[in-house]
Amino acid sequence: MVDLAELKAMIEAALPGASVEMSDETGDGNHLRAEVRASQFEGLSRIDQHRLVKAAVKERFDDGTIHALSVKTEVAG
């Protein structure tokens, strides 16, 4: 079972101060989306910004809880 609040907390823990919005676009856990706004993204390429977000929830990918996560990042300034 996908726990959106847990995923949000994992991202917030990895990127202190970030604002994170999680959504489950189809309600079945297969189309998860994270919108993350963080000052830590400053100066990073988008791929590196996404890597930070994906690394934060890697454990849930590895244990098979989630299969795909669509990510949108924005530099908080």
Partner 1 sequence: MADPQLKEKVTELIAENPVLLFMKGTPEMPRCGFSMRVVQVLDSMDVEYGAVDVLPALQPLREVTAEISDWQTFPQLYVNGELVGGADIVEEMAESGELAEALGVEQPAAAPQAAAPGQSPPLQIE
Site residues (CB under 8 A) for partner 1?
46-47, 50-51, 68, 70-72
Return the number of the residue (15 or 52) whose C-beta is nearest partner 1: 52
Measured distance CA(27)–CA(3) in Å, rounded: 12
CB of 71 to partner 1, least distance (A): 6
CB of 20 to partner 1, least distance (A): 16
Q: How far is CA 75 from CA 8, 37, 45, 57, in A?
A: 17, 6, 11, 19
CB of 29 to partner 1, least distance (A): 16
